[in-house]
């Protein structure tokens, strides 16, 4: 699948790092470092604008390395970029560590996964079909 993109960033287009990668790493399109104090959040631009085909979304997810090493993660995750959105992709990042952290220009700050979706039509009913689980909620399918 081909996706139209405008790259207004100072960096190359995101690429898959390995043949089995599901996500493309997005980079911070900033000119100066951004300092995030503990529990502070900010919006970081990527300089990327995309046109997805109908029936596809872009999911924005945290990078595991940033999360475990620096405590930096994303607030709205997974975030969804709808196929009719044409604005700049921006990343809502938060510092969950007790120390101030810095995001440098060009740092890989998030992953973008392209996924197919379907829209639904509701069918109002009085009763839902039975299953073994039924209405069992959190932890109802076993220990751990």
Q: Which pLDDT does position 136 carry in this prediction?
A: 74
Reference 42, options 95, 113, 83; nearest CA is: 95
* Average of per-residue pLDDT across 107-129: 96
Q: In the chain, where does DSSP find H-type helix?
A: 64-70
pLDDT of residue 106: 98
- What is the per-residue pLDDT for 37? 98
What pLDDT does residue 63 have? Answer: 95
E-strand stretches of 37-140: 41-45, 48-51, 56-61, 72-74, 79-81, 90-95, 101-103, 108-116
- For the cut 90, the answer to whether the pLDDT of residue 138 exceeds it is no
Residue 137 pLDDT: 75
Helix, strand or coil, per DSSP, at residue 61 = strand
pLDDT of residue 144: 58
Bridge partners of 110? Answer: 26
Q: What is the pTM of this model?
A: 0.88
Fold of 4-116: Deoxyuridine 5'-Triphosphate Nucleotidohydrolase; Chain A (2.70.40)
pLDDT, tens digit (0-9, with 9 covering 90-100), for 21-73: 999 999 999 999 999 999 999 999 999 999 999 999 999 999 999 999 999 99
Hey, where are the domains in the chain?
4-116
| Mean residue pLDDT across the chain | 95
Check pLDDT > 90 for residue 142: no
């Amino acid at each position: 699948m081909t996706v139209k993109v405008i790259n207004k960033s100072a960096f190359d287009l995101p690429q898959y790092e390995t043949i089995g990668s599901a996500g493309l790493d997005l980079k911070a399109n900033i000119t100066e470092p951004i300092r995030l104090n503990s529990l502070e959040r900010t919006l970081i631009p990527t300089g990327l604008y995309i046109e997805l085909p109908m029936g596809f979304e872009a999911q924005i997810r945290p990078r595991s390395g940033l999360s475990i090493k620096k405590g930096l993660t994303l607030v709205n995750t997974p975030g969804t970029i709808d196929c009719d959105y044409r604005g700049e992709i921006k990343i809502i990042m938060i510092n969950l560590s007790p120390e101030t952290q810095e995001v440098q220009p060009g740092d890989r700050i998030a992953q973008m996964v392209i996924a197919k979706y379907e829209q639904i039509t509701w069918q109002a009913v009085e009763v839902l079909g039975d299953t073994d689980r039924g209405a069992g909620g959190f932890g109802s399918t076993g220990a751990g």
